[in-house]
Amino acid sequence: MKKKSFFMFVIICLFLVLVIVISFSNKNEPGIFTPEDTHVLGIKIDMPLNKVEKILGKPDRVKTEYEDAFGADVIYCFYKFGTIRFEPAGDLNYSVSSIVISQPNFWGPRKTKINDDYKTVLKKFPYDPKRAVKDNRKILYGSVNDNTGYESDNIGYIFYDDTGRVNDIRYHFGGEGFGGYTLWYKVKDDKVREIVIAVMNV
Protein backbone atom coordinates (compact mmCIF):
# COMPACT_ATOMS: atom_id res chain seq x y z
CA MET A 1 0.00 0.00 0.00
CA LYS A 2 2.83 2.34 0.91
CA LYS A 3 4.62 1.55 -2.35
CA LYS A 4 1.45 2.30 -4.31
CA SER A 5 0.98 5.63 -2.50
CA PHE A 6 4.61 6.55 -3.10
CA PHE A 7 4.29 5.64 -6.77
CA MET A 8 1.17 7.83 -7.11
CA PHE A 9 2.98 10.67 -5.35
CA VAL A 10 5.88 10.45 -7.83
CA ILE A 11 3.47 10.41 -10.80
CA ILE A 12 1.65 13.51 -9.49
CA CYS A 13 4.94 15.33 -8.90
CA LEU A 14 6.17 14.54 -12.41
CA PHE A 15 2.85 15.71 -13.85
CA LEU A 16 3.07 19.01 -11.96
CA VAL A 17 6.66 19.55 -13.10
CA LEU A 18 5.61 18.92 -16.71
CA VAL A 19 2.73 21.41 -16.43
CA ILE A 20 5.06 24.06 -14.98
CA VAL A 21 7.69 23.50 -17.69
CA ILE A 22 5.11 23.73 -20.49
CA SER A 23 3.56 26.83 -18.95
CA PHE A 24 6.94 28.51 -18.60
CA SER A 25 7.90 27.56 -22.14
CA ASN A 26 4.69 29.03 -23.60
CA LYS A 27 5.18 32.30 -21.74
CA ASN A 28 8.62 32.67 -23.29
CA GLU A 29 7.37 32.17 -26.84
CA PRO A 30 7.00 35.52 -28.64
CA GLY A 31 3.53 36.44 -29.82
CA ILE A 32 2.49 37.63 -33.27
CA PHE A 33 2.61 41.31 -34.27
CA THR A 34 -0.49 43.15 -32.97
CA PRO A 35 -1.72 46.79 -32.71
CA GLU A 36 -0.06 46.91 -29.26
CA ASP A 37 3.28 46.87 -31.08
CA THR A 38 2.41 50.19 -32.75
CA HIS A 39 2.95 51.98 -29.42
CA VAL A 40 6.47 53.41 -29.71
CA LEU A 41 8.33 56.53 -28.60
CA GLY A 42 5.42 57.45 -26.35
CA ILE A 43 3.00 57.68 -29.27
CA LYS A 44 0.95 55.24 -31.33
CA ILE A 45 -0.81 54.72 -34.64
CA ASP A 46 -4.14 56.65 -34.92
CA MET A 47 -3.10 59.20 -32.27
CA PRO A 48 -4.29 62.76 -33.10
CA LEU A 49 -1.69 65.26 -34.29
CA ASN A 50 -2.21 67.68 -31.40
CA LYS A 51 -1.65 64.91 -28.84
CA VAL A 52 1.55 63.80 -30.61
CA GLU A 53 2.91 67.35 -30.43
CA LYS A 54 2.13 67.51 -26.71
CA ILE A 55 4.25 64.38 -26.21
CA LEU A 56 7.09 64.92 -28.71
CA GLY A 57 7.00 68.70 -29.06
CA LYS A 58 7.03 70.61 -32.33
CA PRO A 59 8.73 68.79 -35.23
CA ASP A 60 12.04 69.92 -36.72
CA ARG A 61 10.38 70.25 -40.12
CA VAL A 62 6.92 69.82 -41.67
CA LYS A 63 5.98 68.92 -45.23
CA THR A 64 2.50 68.63 -46.77
CA GLU A 65 1.46 66.79 -49.93
CA TYR A 66 -1.93 66.62 -51.60
CA GLU A 67 -3.24 63.09 -52.15
CA ASP A 68 -6.20 62.27 -54.37
CA ALA A 69 -7.14 59.28 -52.21
CA PHE A 70 -8.10 61.68 -49.42
CA GLY A 71 -8.94 64.73 -51.47
CA ALA A 72 -6.76 66.61 -49.00
CA ASP A 73 -3.19 67.10 -47.83
CA VAL A 74 -1.25 64.56 -45.80
CA ILE A 75 1.30 65.90 -43.33
CA TYR A 76 4.85 64.67 -42.73
CA CYS A 77 6.50 65.72 -39.48
CA PHE A 78 10.24 65.20 -39.18
CA TYR A 79 11.80 64.45 -35.79
CA LYS A 80 15.26 63.35 -34.70
CA PHE A 81 14.25 59.68 -34.81
CA GLY A 82 12.63 59.85 -38.27
CA THR A 83 9.23 60.76 -39.71
CA ILE A 84 5.56 60.64 -38.75
CA ARG A 85 2.88 60.72 -41.43
CA PHE A 86 -0.54 62.16 -40.54
CA GLU A 87 -3.65 61.54 -42.62
CA PRO A 88 -7.05 63.28 -42.53
CA ALA A 89 -9.31 61.74 -39.92
CA GLY A 90 -12.47 63.82 -40.39
CA ASP A 91 -13.63 67.12 -38.87
CA LEU A 92 -10.34 68.77 -39.94
CA ASN A 93 -8.42 66.43 -37.63
CA TYR A 94 -5.31 64.46 -38.54
CA SER A 95 -4.05 61.21 -37.01
CA VAL A 96 -0.88 59.12 -37.19
CA SER A 97 -0.91 56.71 -40.13
CA SER A 98 2.76 55.76 -40.05
CA ILE A 99 5.85 56.09 -37.89
CA VAL A 100 9.28 55.69 -39.50
CA ILE A 101 12.35 55.22 -37.31
CA SER A 102 15.50 55.78 -39.36
CA GLN A 103 18.03 56.88 -36.75
CA PRO A 104 19.87 54.76 -34.14
CA ASN A 105 19.32 54.94 -30.37
CA PHE A 106 15.51 55.04 -30.60
CA TRP A 107 13.48 52.01 -29.56
CA GLY A 108 11.07 50.46 -32.03
CA PRO A 109 8.57 47.65 -31.27
CA ARG A 110 9.77 45.05 -28.75
CA LYS A 111 13.02 46.94 -28.10
CA THR A 112 14.26 46.60 -31.66
CA LYS A 113 16.30 49.44 -33.15
CA ILE A 114 18.33 50.64 -36.10
CA ASN A 115 21.56 48.67 -36.69
CA ASP A 116 20.20 45.54 -34.98
CA ASP A 117 21.12 42.32 -36.74
CA TYR A 118 18.05 41.04 -38.60
CA LYS A 119 18.25 37.81 -36.56
CA THR A 120 17.49 39.89 -33.46
CA VAL A 121 14.17 40.87 -35.06
CA LEU A 122 13.33 37.26 -35.93
CA LYS A 123 13.72 36.27 -32.27
CA LYS A 124 11.11 38.84 -31.21
CA PHE A 125 8.26 37.23 -33.17
CA PRO A 126 7.16 33.69 -34.05
CA TYR A 127 9.51 32.07 -36.55
CA ASP A 128 9.56 28.61 -38.07
CA PRO A 129 13.05 28.15 -39.63
CA LYS A 130 11.94 24.90 -41.29
CA ARG A 131 9.70 26.68 -43.78
CA ALA A 132 11.07 26.85 -47.32
CA VAL A 133 11.95 29.96 -49.32
CA LYS A 134 9.60 30.42 -52.29
CA ASP A 135 9.79 33.26 -54.83
CA ASN A 136 12.44 34.99 -52.69
CA ARG A 137 10.31 34.98 -49.56
CA LYS A 138 9.73 32.79 -46.54
CA ILE A 139 6.63 32.75 -44.35
CA LEU A 140 7.57 33.26 -40.70
CA TYR A 141 4.08 32.53 -39.36
CA GLY A 142 0.59 32.40 -40.82
CA SER A 143 -0.12 30.81 -44.18
CA VAL A 144 -0.84 31.35 -47.88
CA ASN A 145 -3.25 29.22 -49.90
CA ASP A 146 -1.23 27.94 -52.89
CA ASN A 147 -4.37 27.71 -55.05
CA THR A 148 -5.97 31.08 -54.35
CA GLY A 149 -2.98 33.08 -53.08
CA TYR A 150 -5.13 34.11 -50.12
CA GLU A 151 -3.04 35.07 -47.09
CA SER A 152 -3.79 34.79 -43.39
CA ASP A 153 -4.88 38.13 -41.92
CA ASN A 154 -2.03 37.81 -39.44
CA ILE A 155 1.17 36.80 -41.16
CA GLY A 156 4.92 37.39 -41.15
CA TYR A 157 7.39 37.29 -44.05
CA ILE A 158 11.10 37.52 -44.67
CA PHE A 159 12.11 38.68 -48.15
CA TYR A 160 15.42 37.92 -49.88
CA ASP A 161 17.26 39.47 -52.82
CA ASP A 162 18.45 37.38 -55.76
CA THR A 163 21.73 36.58 -53.97
CA GLY A 164 19.88 35.13 -50.97
CA ARG A 165 20.52 38.03 -48.59
CA VAL A 166 17.71 39.45 -46.47
CA ASN A 167 16.00 42.53 -47.93
CA ASP A 168 13.27 43.10 -45.40
CA ILE A 169 11.02 41.54 -42.78
CA ARG A 170 7.29 42.32 -42.70
CA TYR A 171 4.50 41.54 -40.28
CA HIS A 172 0.80 42.14 -40.93
CA PHE A 173 -2.16 42.21 -38.55
CA GLY A 174 -5.74 42.30 -39.85
CA GLY A 175 -4.74 41.83 -43.48
CA GLU A 176 -3.07 44.21 -45.91
CA GLY A 177 -6.26 46.10 -46.80
CA PHE A 178 -8.21 48.85 -45.06
CA GLY A 179 -7.67 48.87 -41.31
CA GLY A 180 -4.71 46.48 -41.47
CA TYR A 181 -1.50 47.16 -39.54
CA THR A 182 2.00 46.61 -40.89
CA LEU A 183 5.43 46.44 -39.27
CA TRP A 184 8.25 46.60 -41.79
CA TYR A 185 11.96 46.21 -41.09
CA LYS A 186 14.13 47.31 -44.02
CA VAL A 187 17.43 45.44 -43.98
CA LYS A 188 20.79 46.05 -45.66
CA ASP A 189 24.01 44.11 -45.07
CA ASP A 190 22.12 42.03 -42.46
CA LYS A 191 21.38 45.14 -40.35
CA VAL A 192 18.09 46.95 -39.73
CA ARG A 193 18.23 50.29 -41.56
CA GLU A 194 14.64 51.48 -41.15
CA ILE A 195 11.58 50.53 -39.10
CA VAL A 196 8.14 51.38 -40.52
CA ILE A 197 4.92 51.03 -38.53
CA ALA A 198 1.72 51.81 -40.43
CA VAL A 199 -2.04 51.40 -40.78
CA MET A 200 -3.98 51.30 -44.06
CA ASN A 201 -6.63 54.05 -43.99
CA VAL A 202 -7.78 53.91 -47.64
Domains in the chain with CATH codes: 35-199 (2.60.460)
How high is the mean pLDDT of the chain?
86
What tens digit of pLDDT does each residue of 43-62 get? 999 999 999 999 999 999 99
| Residue bearing the bigger pLDDT, 138 or 23 | 138
Residues 145 and 147: their CA atoms lie apart, in Å, by 5
Residues 192 and 202: their CA atoms lie apart, in Å, by 28
DSSP reduced 3-state for 163: coil
Residues 60-79, buried b or exposed e (16+ Cβ, 10 A)? Answer: eeeeeeeeeeeeeebbbbeb
DSSP-assigned states of every residue in 96-146: EEEEEE-STT---GGG--TT-BHHHHHTTS---TTSPPBTTEEEEES-B-T
Determine the pLDDT at residue 19: 35
Residues 91 and 89: their CA atoms lie apart, in Å, by 7
pLDDT band at residue 5 using 50, 70 and 90 as cut-offs: low
Determine the pLDDT at residue 146: 66
List CB contacts of 168: < 8 A, sequence separation 6 or more.
158, 159, 184, 185, 186, 187
Determine the pLDDT at residue 170: 96
Residue 200 predicted with pLDDT over 70: yes
